[in-house]
Chains A and B, each alone.
Chain A
Amino acid sequence: MDRALDLTAGLGRFVLAMLRGAGAVALFAAEAISHLVRPPFYGRLFLKAFVEIAWFSLPVVALTAVFTGMVLALQSYTGFARFNAEGAVANVVVLSITRELGPVLAGLMVAGRIGAAFAAEIGTMRVTDQIDALTTLSTNPMKYLVAPRLLAGTIALPLLVVVANTLGVMGGWIIGTQQLGFASGAYLKATFDFLQAWDVISGLIKAAVFGFIVTLMGCWCGYNSGGGAQGVGRATTAAVVSSSILILASDYLLTAVMFSR
């Protein structure tokens, strides 16, 4: 009996802690967003974060996308051959990439790179009093550190996903034409004939949400980093893990909402 009570109490505490955490993150995000509409604006910092996210993530995202497209083509070919449906390869590749894999994989890659980098940078600033120093130097740290990064992430990830989509389809096309014996023109026609604007747009909306999540969790974990090098290490890990999980969870929710017809 006592055991069962302990267990429920523990579960209750866990749920409460989760809710408290979610509430705190939501308030943090709301404050950061409110700074996006009130001057001063830090255009220079926005650009710096944008270049860091969009430009320097390009190689990783591009490689991921190409290989994913290639694997998709191979897998769907061998799978569909069992139903004599090899012709659907181009469709499967383009739909999987634009709707799901482009945004999710780009989001996860950026979570590893940017979520970790932001958490480490802001966490170090926290434990070395640089965030307090900002306040004493007439600068609001939320406005200076968090708001530009959030905006940059939300804009940069969809652009990365446009590149990822293109390269992913190209990866499928390479395998389709070089290895699986499709004619180039027919493969491309099959790719674009069935593709609808919404397939791409829904993926880009997801990407914007994922970009927001990654930069938000990176900033949040860094901003609330505990003491010392260990605290910053923990913040970095927490940023990557939490943003990855949130990407997958919100991917489910967004898919359920956007394709609920």
Chain B
Amino acid sequence: MSGDIPKIRLRGLSKSFGPKVVLDGVDLDIRAGHSMVILGGSGSGKSVTLKCILGLITPDAGLIEIDGRDVAAMTRREREAVNDRIGMLFQNGALFDSLPVWENVCFKLLAQRRITRRAARDKAAEVLAQVGLAASVGDLSPAELSGGMQKRVGLARAIAAEPDIIFFDEPTTGLDPIMGAVIDGLIVDCVKRLGATAVSITHDMASARRIGDDAAMIHKGRIVWRGAAATLGDTGNALVDQFARGEREGPIQMELRK
């Protein structure tokens, strides 16, 4: 059954901020239990797409289905129940700097009352170990962590409640290549262990090939290509190939003078 119904289905998703059209009819299917990578230039609306799926931004038009159900038709409570099963790693971490790391990691479990505060410290240590961090990190404040450690804590927070769907917004941006590869490895492990459906945003080709089964490219508010992540760099699509090789000349013109 999960073979037929995509975990997430987007049809005609559109969003403008004032006069600025960001999404202009995005159509995308995300297969259950697979890892989808969304590529696209900076400011092309990748984060906005994820925020629409999460209900953080209301789209102007279009359909969003999760497990075959239209989220716009859900009651507030049903919508919250869906979000309870989704984990998100934000682009800049978005860790709560007023709380220690352990409380960040177990925030969702505590909010859902699936765990006591006393048990949360041990649980946090367990999840931190899964992302390669020592239990002692749990007592630090997020401000005391390096960028790579913050990403790991963000990852730990996203997976702690064992979600069905996980979103990763630029998990490796701003990290050195080795740390980027480490984070990619952790993402692949975690997604596999949870059997989750993953959607990752990136503009790093190496990273895309490492974490993706499927890939799609967004350009000018639409999905212009989709295919297997393994074929990236040699897709035959001029837009994707230019993006993958990072070439200045090609169909994508940087709009510098606008």
A interface residues with partner B (beta carbon < 8 Å): 40, 121, 125, 128-130, 132-133, 135-139
Contact assessment for A136 and B92 in the assembled complex, using a CB-CB cutoff below 8 Å? no
> How many of chain B's residues have a CB under 8 angstroms from any CB in A?
25
Contact of B94 among A121, A130, A138 (CB under 8 A): A130
Decide yes or no whether B211 CB sits under 8 A from chain A: no
Q: Which residues of A contact B90 (CB under 8 A)?
A: 129, 132-133
Q: Which residues of A contact B84 (CB under 8 A)?
A: 138
How distant is the Cα of A130 from the Cα of B108 in the complex, in angstroms?
13
> Given contacts A130-B94, A138-B112, could you give 16 more A-B pairs where the C-beta distance is less than 8 Å?
A40-B113, A125-B96, A130-B97, A132-B51, A132-B54, A133-B95, A135-B55, A135-B56, A135-B83, A136-B54, A136-B83, A136-B87, A137-B157, A138-B111, A138-B161, A139-B107
Q: How far is the CB of A146 from chain B (nearest CB, A)?
A: 15
Contact of A133 among B80, B88, B98 (CB under 8 A): B88
Name A140's closest neighbour in chain B (CB-CB).
B80
- Contacts of B192-241 to chain A: CB distance below 8 A: none
Contact of B88 among A40, A121, A125, A136 (CB under 8 A): A136
Q: Which residues of B contact A125 (CB under 8 A)?
A: 96
Contact assessment for B56 and A137 in the assembled complex, using a CB-CB cutoff below 8 Å? no
Interface code B62-97, partner A: CB below 8 Å = 1, 0 otherwise? 000000000000000000100110111011101111
Q: Which residues of B contact A138 (CB under 8 A)?
A: 80, 83-84, 108, 111-112, 161
- Contact status of A133 and B94, CB under 8 A, knowing A138-B108, A138-B112, A139-B107: yes
Q: How far is the CB of A140 from chain B (nearest CB, A)?
A: 8
Of residues A40, A129, A132, A138, which shows the largest number of chain B Cβ atoms within 10 Å of its Cβ?
A138
Q: Which residues of A contact B112 (CB under 8 A)?
A: 138
- Can you name 22 A-B residue pairings with CB atoms under 8 Å? A40-B113, A121-B98, A128-B94, A129-B92, A130-B94, A130-B97, A132-B56, A133-B88, A133-B90, A133-B96, A135-B54, A135-B55, A135-B56, A136-B54, A136-B83, A136-B87, A137-B108, A138-B80, A138-B83, A138-B111, A138-B161, A139-B111
